[in-house]
């Protein structure tokens, strides 16, 4: 029996939770930098926003790796996980989007799209893609997309 097959369904890998928690701390740091300082040009809020910029890419990488990990470790019930991810993604795209939009009412720089919308779309698409595209093709696609132009 391999180490992956030996993982119990109720077993949590705490290092994944810790990594996601750290990414969320960076999100909070960035948001506090925007929300709780009157003068946004001061050193502290500027520093908080700059340090917090690591949050979104970190969270995206962790989420992508987690979906691949779950596909390999829960192959028998991955269809159920796909539905759960789709439910959560659609929640972000509907209720979550409206809640964030409502929180931005009155801001001079209001946007109609948020990072959570991107996360919601990928929560719906990524498990579907992982289940249908061979690992070799996923790696080839990722390497082509990561190359800088020119």
Band (1; pLDDT cuts 50, 70, 90)? very low
Q: Is 107 left (phi over 0), alpha (psi -120 to 50) or beta?
A: beta
Sole residue written with tokens 């077993």: 11
Whether the CB-CB separation of 93 and 117 falls below 8 Å is answered with yes
Q: Tens digit of pLDDT for each residue in 30-39?
A: 888 888 888 8
Q: What does the pLDDT read at residue 91?
A: 96
CA distance 133 to 39: 49
Q: What is the pLDDT of residue 79?
A: 93
Contact between 48 and 29 (Cβ < 8 Å): yes
Predicted structure pTM score: 0.73
12 or 127, which is more confident: 127
Q: Distance between terminal CA atoms of the chain?
A: 47
Tokens standing for residue 37: 């300082």
| b (16+ CB within 10 A) / e for 28-44 | ebbeebeeeeeeeeeee
Instruction: Centre a 10 Å sphere on the Cβ of residue 127 and count the other Cβ atoms it contains.
Output: 23
Q: What is the pLDDT of residues 109-134, one digit of tens each?
A: 667 888 889 989 999 999 999 999 88
| pLDDT digit string, tens, across residues 18-33 | 988 998 899 888 888 8
Is the pLDDT at 53 greater than 80, yes or no? yes
Q: Output the pLDDT for position 103.
A: 80
Distance, CA of 26 to CA of 14 (rounded, Å): 18
The Cα 80–Cα 65 span in angstroms is 18
Structure tokens at 18: 């810790």
Q: Which residue ranges make up each domain of the chain?
A: 74-136
pLDDT of 63 above 70: yes
- Averaged over 135-145, what is the pLDDT? 79
């Amino acid at each position: 029996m391999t180490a992956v097959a030996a993982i119990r369904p109720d077993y949590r890998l705490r290092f994944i939770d810790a990594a996601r928690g750290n990414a969320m701390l960076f999100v909070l740091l960035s948001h506090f930098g925007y929300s709780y300082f009157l003068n946004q040009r001061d050193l502290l809020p500027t520093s908080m926003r700059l340090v917090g910029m690591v949050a979104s890419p970190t969270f995206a990488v962790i989420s992508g790796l987690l979906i691949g990990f779950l596909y390999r470790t829960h192959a028998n019930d991955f269809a159920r996980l796909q539905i759960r991810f789709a439910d959560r993604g659609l929640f972000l795209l509907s209720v979550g989007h409206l809640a964030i939009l409502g929180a931005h009412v009155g801001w001079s720089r209001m946007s109609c799209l948020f990072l959570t919308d991107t996360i919601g779309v990928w929560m719906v698409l990524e498990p579907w893609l992982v289940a249908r595209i061979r690992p070799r093709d996923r790696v080839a696609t990722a390497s082509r997309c990561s190359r800088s132009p020119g």
